[in-house]
Structure 1
């Protein structure tokens, strides 16, 4: 079984103790380990896979906490660098009554943006490995160049590249800079995960079918279009589509749900030995199983608070699949 390498931000999410208040009115928070790539790595590890994090943290208490939390989930942390040139990133979150979120980020820059290409060792990657990244750490920084080096190294070994744009506009100078950067990185990935509220923004195309078709450029082999509780659709071309059902659970917090979906999806790819030369065949044969597992992983996470603390084990995922298959109704997990 190959290994998942996630590159990018690891940070502290400060989650409000109450829902329904704007961030300015929140009086108390609880901390949780987060950052989209870290969430994906933790998801894969908690499901039983091998996962490593490529990032940099501050030499501060928050960095110590994140190392402990990642290690606790089973993520390898020996490749994480530390620095005293910047602090570990922070994100303050406010929760609406429906569990959706607003963010306020503190990084100018944070330590993760200081990881340089010289700190990426190409020799760590193998044929059946997967590199996953998002857009948050693609702002102009040493970390952007570190992404490019890691992507090239994994590709040269025959491994897979997974990209979840995970749009966070407050972290960019302008929406156009965010859109342009995401568009620049889409062609270098083999697998694109995109949500229904990101598709038109990223592509600039209102027609769903045409927008998804436009993503098949460069090295892109598959697109996963997620629709929250409505499930997800897997595209192997603009005309070859497979659907996966959603799971109806009582939502507490949607933080990390998309990352848990990605983690479940990538775990199944690792389990089936997917690589550049066989991923299309793997997805055609196993699409039902992979989509069901990924959707259940994402749904389970929304029933808890925070991202990493709420991630499911493999037993949790199978429990939810069995419960919903038997009951066909909203499930309290």
Structure 2
């Protein structure tokens, strides 16, 4: 039994020097990538049993990616390399403020998610928990699969962890993305989002008020990350404000993914005992902050 992480895996080609754009990049270095794969790797490296449900192309980059995921300890029983599909590649540049920009080439995540579709409900039935984000809600086919997986988990009383991870430029309209993400808040064991996502989902600019709004929307527990200011935890009788950790960031790619991966590992080790969220959050905040001192997502 393991936490099933449903979503995307791709290759990040990272320019490991600050530049204003891709035209100024002198070189790129490969890293594993994709928000869900980042979460799975972060959890697995902390001892959690994690399976990644999805796929990549059956090409050289897909085999490279699968090998890295396997080395990190991620379970791949539900991960498929799809013949004829090109593994997505993200060219990543980072500016002087450590903020990344992405140029993605290759097919999207839809085909890979559809590849695991016939076995997805079986995968959920064998899971201890389900993690997913909004990237598999954009396209109609992968949204249907994701929602069915969520519904199956809830019907089986399997904890659901949702990270909106909103990339509104991928949606037909920003409102559509927010609406789909908001619908996934209800009954989730844990919703993790950043300050801006919390505002979009609740209309509240104050993080504490936004957390209250998400709890009112049906989430059992809420973690809102605040960038350099740390994170807050609310729900289930838990209330914790964790201050930020002073760092000199070079690349913030994947910091939030690492944080939620660390929380999943803590939950896995305690059979999803809610108080473990409070115990683990300070270390998760520090790990996420330290990750920004390096290039690329770091589990």
TM (norm. structure 1) is 0.82
1:305 aligns with 2:277: no
Contact 2:14 2:31 in 1 (8 A): yes
1:211-265 alpha-carbon deviations (Å, 9 max, x no partner): 322212564101101112321100117x962112332233231111101100111
CA distance in 2, matches of 1:22, 1:62: 24
1:178-229 alpha-carbon deviations (Å, 9 max, x no partner): 2122122222522110111322223333454443222125641011011123
Q: 1:244 to 1:210 in 2, by over 3 A?
A: closer
CA distance in 2, matches of 1:224, 1:106: 32
> May I ask how many residue pairs the two structures share in their alignment?
298
1:248 aligns with 2:246: yes
Structure 2: where are the runs of 5+ without partners? none
CA distance in 2, matches of 1:82, 1:287: 34
Q: 1:252 to 1:160 in 2, by over 3 A?
A: same
Q: 1:240 to 1:252 in 2, by over 3 A?
A: same
Match of 2:220 in 1: 221
Question: What's the CA shift for 1:76?
Answer: 0.9
CA distance in 2, matches of 1:52, 1:249: 32
1:257-280 alpha-carbon deviations (Å, 9 max, x no partner): 101100111111111111xxxx5x
Q: 1:155 to 1:248 in 2, by over 3 A?
A: same
Q: 1:207 to 1:18 in 2, by over 3 A?
A: closer
1:264-308 alpha-carbon deviations (Å, 9 max, x no partner): 11111111111xxxx5xx32xx4542111211221232122111x
Contact 1:23 1:94 in 2 (8 A): yes
Match of 1:114 in 2: 114
Structure 2 counterparts to residues 1-333 of structure 1, below 5 A: 3-110=2-109, 111-115=111-115, 117-122=117-122, 125-126=125-126, 129-217=128-216, 219-236=218-235, 241-274=239-272, 279=273, 282-283=274-275, 286-307=276-297, 310-311=298-299
Match of 1:328 in 2: none
Question: What's the CA shift for 1:32?
Answer: 0.9
Structure 1's consecutive aligned runs of 4 or more residues displaced over 6 angstroms after TM superposition are none
Question: What's the CA shift for 1:12?
Answer: 1.0
Contact 1:126 1:159 in 2 (8 A): no
CA distance in 2, matches of 1:21, 1:157: 48
- Provide the secondary structure at the position in 2 that maps to 1:148: helix
Structure 1: where are the runs of 5+ without partners? 312-333
